[in-house]
């Protein structure tokens, strides 16, 4: 069998031909970037080892970590050595063994070649002084080290994580607000990264801890209740991290198929709904700085009516309450406007001209926010909300750029 020439893995296969350079001493964050790039590069070259699904990832992560992604261990084969024909061996048996021997040589050369290039990338990314203790005193090379051993040394000696920093990472993951409209693997990746950070900090997360953290994040969405209940009914020995991920990937896919695709019943969606209602109230309060006309109900064009009318959870209930209060506020203000108009008509006093800005009462004048209006100057409503605009009124005018508008109150 003729073996092919050496492959240039960096340019033909690697996702990151050049690793991110670390200048000076490493930190956890800079080493994590390099480690992630090495993982991507290792997986970009196929290998039948370790189940055949993750390329040469087993060169970069430690054996116990590899068991979290594959049931088949990644075992680097030894050098096959020379092929010899056994005494009295049948020709067809010898031929079969020779073919297997040549395949083993090919696998060994590929693993060795990928490992060598990965180590070369580390040498180019990390200042030489930090790798010197790892070099062989006789050959001055690093090839006798595993890639994951080099990374472990660098993390242990230069990428320290304090308990406080680890707590911050954990809090960020625990408080994660997962959007069910995105892949559920986003949650799994965040938890896996947290477990790796904990390992680098000298701590560890059990399978049960990872499951529990992810359980809480998914439960917060309000969409996985059935899948969560079914998970709790599974036997404890079968609750592996891999089984957890498969279970909720399936649940997420079924949810996308059986819903309208918008996931509007989720608490994530309804939180946005509540925010839109609050924004509407704020818009109303700003709008009513001009008291010359009855208030107009702000239009929440992106808020669908069905979730408002039919959702039964607490967040939706809050949205309903806010909308009800908003409606009552509008009715009361309309009634007050009509009463004021009737009182003026009954007294025979002429109605004020439509143009001037009445402004606030003296008692609350100092506490109210002023805005610039092209027609009225420095007053108590924004120009774009003015209800008595003069001809040529410009909504975009500001106090700094009046665009030939009114200078009243601006000095």
What was the pLDDT predicted at 269? 54
pTM of the prediction? Answer: 0.57
To the nearest whole number, what is the mean pLDDT of the chain?
80
Which pLDDT does position 266 carry in this prediction?
52
- pLDDT number for residue 336: 73
Mean pLDDT of 147-174: 91
Cα gap 27→164, rounded to integer Å: 15
User: CA torsion sign, 32 to 35 to 40 to 41?
Assistant: positive
DSSP label at residue 397: -
Q: What is the DSSP string of 214-250?
A: HHHHHHTTTS-HHHHHHHHTS-GGG--HHHHHHHHHH
Structure tokens at 15: 């996702």
pLDDT at residue 361 above 80?
Answer: no
**What pLDDT does 89 receive?**
87
Q: Which of 326, 336, 334 is nearest to 283 (CA)?
A: 326
Confidence band, pLDDT 50/70/90 cuts, at residue 275: low
pLDDT tens digits, one per residue of 177-194: 998 888 999 999 999 989
Structural domain boundaries in the chain: 9-158, 163-258, 267-347, 356-411
């Amino acid at each position: 069998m003729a073996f092919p020439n050496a492959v240039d893995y960096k340019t033909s296969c690697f996702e990151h031909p050049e690793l991110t350079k670390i200048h000076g001493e490493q930190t956890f964050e800079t080493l994590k970037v390099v480690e992630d790039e090495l993982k991507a590069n290792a997986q970009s070259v196929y290998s039948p080892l370790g189940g055949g699904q993750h390329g040469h990832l087993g060169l970069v992560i430690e054996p116990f970590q590899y068991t979290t992604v594959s049931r088949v261990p990644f075992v680097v084969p030894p050098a096959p050595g020379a092929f010899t024909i056994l005494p009295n061996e049948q020709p067809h048996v010898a031929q079969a063994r020779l073919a297997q021997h040549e395949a083993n040589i090919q696998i060994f050369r590929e693993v060795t070649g990928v490992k060598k290039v990965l180590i070369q990338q580390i040498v180019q990314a990390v200042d030489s002084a930090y790798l010197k203790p790892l070099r062989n005193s006789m050959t001055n090379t690093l090839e006798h080290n595993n890639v994951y051993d080099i990374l472990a040394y660098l993390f242990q000696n230069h990428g320290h994580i304090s308990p406080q920093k680890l707590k911050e990472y954990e809090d960020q993951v625990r408080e994660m607000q997962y959007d069910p409209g995105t892949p559920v693997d986003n949650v799994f990746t965040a938890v896996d990264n947290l477990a790796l950070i904990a390992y680098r900090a000298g701590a560890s997360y059990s399978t049960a801890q990872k499951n529990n953290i992810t359980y809480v994040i998914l439960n917060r969405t309000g969409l996985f209740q059935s899948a969560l209940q079914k998970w709790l009914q599974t036997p404890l020995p079968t609750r592996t991290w891999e089984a957890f991920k498969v279970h909720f990937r399936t649940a997420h896919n079924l949810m996308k198929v059986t819903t309208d695709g918008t996931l509007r019943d989720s608490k994530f969606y309804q939180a946005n709904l509540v925010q839109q209602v609050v924004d509407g109230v704020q818009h109303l309060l700003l709008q009513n700085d001009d008291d010359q006309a009855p208030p107009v109900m702000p239009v929440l064009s992106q808020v669908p009516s069905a979730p408002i009318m039919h959702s039964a959870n607490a967040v939706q209930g809050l949205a309903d309450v806010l909308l009800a209060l908003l409606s009552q506020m509008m009715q009361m203000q309309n009634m007050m406007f009509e009463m004021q108009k009737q009182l003026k008509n009954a007294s025979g006093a002429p109605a004020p001209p439509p143009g001037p800005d009445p402004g606030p009462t003296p008692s609350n004048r100092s506490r109210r926010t002023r805005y610039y209006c092209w027609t009225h100057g420095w007053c108590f409503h924004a120009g774009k909300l003015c209800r008595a605009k003069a001809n040529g009124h410009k909504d975009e005018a500001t106090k700094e750029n009046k665009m030939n508008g009114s200078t009243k109150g601006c000095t």
